[in-house]
C-alpha cells in the first residue's frame, strides 16, 4: 500500500510517499480503508522530534492518528461489518493514519452518522476527545 512516511525526524520535507506493507489486523482489530485523515499539531511535533523523549525511534514511521474510512475486514466478535463507514483515533503507539489502510482496536472506532462527510469526520477524533475531556474537567 502507499503511505506518507518519514525515515528520520525533521521538517515537513522529510515526508515522502513510500510503499509499506498493508497492516495485518490482530483478532481484536478492524482493518479500515482510509478515505480521509486528520492533521493535528501533535503530528508535527512527533515528526520534528520535539517529542522524541515520549516516542523515540522506530523508523520509517507513518504519521497521523485520526481517520475516517470504510471497514475492509473485521476480527472476531466485532460490532462492525465490511463497508461500514467509521471514524477512529488509532490506538497504535506509532500512529499510521496517512496510509491507504490502518488497523485499529474496535473499541477506538465509531460509526459515522449519515450526512457527515469523511473529510469532516477525520477532523473530529483527537479534537473531539480533547474538547470532551476539557468540558468534563471544567464543568464538574
Domain ranges within the chain, ordered by starting residue: 2-138
Mode of pairing for the β-strands spanning 16-19 and 2-5: antiparallel
Q: What pLDDT is stored for residue 132 in this prediction?
A: 61
Q: What pLDDT is stored for residue 63 in this prediction?
A: 96
Closest by alpha carbon to 65, among 33, 45, 42, 31?
42
CA distance 40 to 25: 25
Q: What pLDDT is stored for residue 131 in this prediction?
A: 64
Where b means 16+ CB within 10 Å and e means fewer, 1-34 reads: eebbbbeebeeeebeeeeebeebebeeebbbbbb
Digitized pLDDT (tens) for each residue of the chain, 140 residues in all: 999 999 999 999 999 999 999 999 888 899 999 999 999 999 999 999 999 888 877 899 999 999 999 999 998 778 899 999 999 999 988 899 999 999 999 999 999 999 999 999 999 988 877 766 655 555 55
For the segment(s) 2-138, the CATH number from 3.30.420.10, 3.30.420.40, 3.90.180.10, 3.40.50.970 is 3.90.180.10
Q: What pLDDT is stored for residue 60 in this prediction?
A: 95
Amino acid at each position: 500500500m502507499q503511505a506518507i512516511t518519514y525515515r528520520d525526524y525533521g521538517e515537513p520535507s522529510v515526508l515522502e510517499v513510500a510503499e509499506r506493507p498493508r497492516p495485518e489486523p490482530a483478532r481484536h482489530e478492524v482493518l479500515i480503508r482510509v478515505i480521509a485523515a486528520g492533521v493535528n499539531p501533535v503530528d508535527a511535533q512527533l515528526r520534528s522530534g520535539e517529542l522524541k523523549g515520549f516516542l523515540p525511534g522506530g523508523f520509517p514511521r507513518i504519521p497521523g492518528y485520526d481517520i475516517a474510512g470504510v471497514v475492509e475486514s473485521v476480527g472476531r466478535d466485532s460490532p462492525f461489518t465490511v463497508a461500514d463507514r467509521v471514524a477512529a483515533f488509532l490506538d497504535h503507539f506509532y500512529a499510521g493514519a496517512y496510509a491507504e489502510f490502518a488497523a485499529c482496536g474496535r473499541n477506538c472506532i465509531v460509526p459515522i452518522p449519515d450526512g457527515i462527510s469523511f473529510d469532516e469526520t477525520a477532523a473530529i477524533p483527537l479534537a473531539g476527545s480533547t474538547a470532551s475531556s476539557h468540558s468534563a474537567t471544567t464543568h464538574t
